[in-house]
Amino acid sequence: MRKMLLGAALIGAVAGLLATPSAWAGDTYKFNLHNKSSEYTIIGFYTYEDGKWSKNWINFTLKPGEEAEMDWGSDEGNCVVPFKVGWQGYEAEKFSVDFCKVHNLYMKDQGFSFD
């Protein structure tokens, strides 16, 4: 896994993940994580690789209406990476998405969407 930076106007963190070659060859792959839930706070973001879940990628909370920029720090690896999001007071939910196609990841009260 390679290092990544999570940045938003408020906070940043370092972690690692391999992502696939993106349309921006030579660039790292970035997307914005949006909390579009009505009342739930995001407290964790985890990815599944090599048969295990990663440690928590974020060291901050993301309240409803907030967003954070995520940067994998790489343009190599698999596009489709299972992930789960931890919610304050609730168990993490598991999902899967093609991160090569994600510019914005919207976490909702139920499920997610992306563009």
Which domains are delineated in the chain?
Answer: 3-114 (2.60.40)
Is a pLDDT exceeding 70 seen at residue 20?
Answer: no
Q: What is the predicted pLDDT for the residue at 29?
A: 76
pTM of the model: 0.74
pLDDT tens profile 63-108 = 999 999 998 777 778 889 899 999 999 999 999 999 889 999 999 9
Confidence band, pLDDT 50/70/90 cuts, at residue 109: very high
Residue 76 in contact with residue 19, Cβ under 8 Å?
Answer: yes
